[in-house]
Amino acid sequence: MSKVPVVAVVACMIPEMGIGFQGKLPWRLATEMKYFKEVTSTTKDPTKVNAVVMGRKTWESIPPRFRPLPNRINMVVSRQPRAQLHLDDQVYSTSSLSQGIEHLNTNFGERLERIYIIGGAEIYSQSYELVDHWLVTKIQPLPESQVPEMDTHLDPQRLALTFKERSLDELSQFLPQTSVPIVNPIEEKGFHYWFTLYTNQ
Indicate the residue type of 8: A
User: Does 77 participate in binding ligand NDP (rule CB under 6 A)?
Assistant: yes
Q: Which of 25, 52, 131, 159 binds ligand NDP (CB under 6 A)?
A: 25
> Nearest Cα to 25, choosing from 125, 150, 194?
150
Minimal CB distance residue for ligand NDP: 120
**53 phi and psi, to 5 degrees?**
-120, 130
Nearer to ligand NDP, 174 or 193 (CB): 193
Q: Is 61 in the site for ligand NDP (CB under 6 A)?
A: yes
Geometric angle at alpha carbon 113, from 30 and 75, rounded to 5°:
65
- Binding of ligand NDP by 188 (CB under 6 A): no
Distance CA 64, CA 55 (A): 15
The yes or no reply on residue 19 touching ligand NDP (CB under 6 A) is: yes
Nearest-angstrom CA–CA distance, 54 and 68: 11
Q: Does 131 bind ligand NDP (CB under 6 A)?
A: no
Q: Is 123 in the site for ligand NDP (CB under 6 A)?
A: yes
- Smallest separation, CB 108 to ligand NDP (Å): 21
10 touches ligand NDP (CB under 6 A): yes
Q: Which residues of 1-34 are buried (b: 16+ CB within 10 A; e: fewer)?
A: eeebebbbbbbbbeeebbbbeeeebbbebeebee
> Footprint of ligand NDP on this chain (CB under 6 A)?
10-12, 19-20, 23-25, 54-58, 61, 77-80, 95-96, 118-123, 126, 152
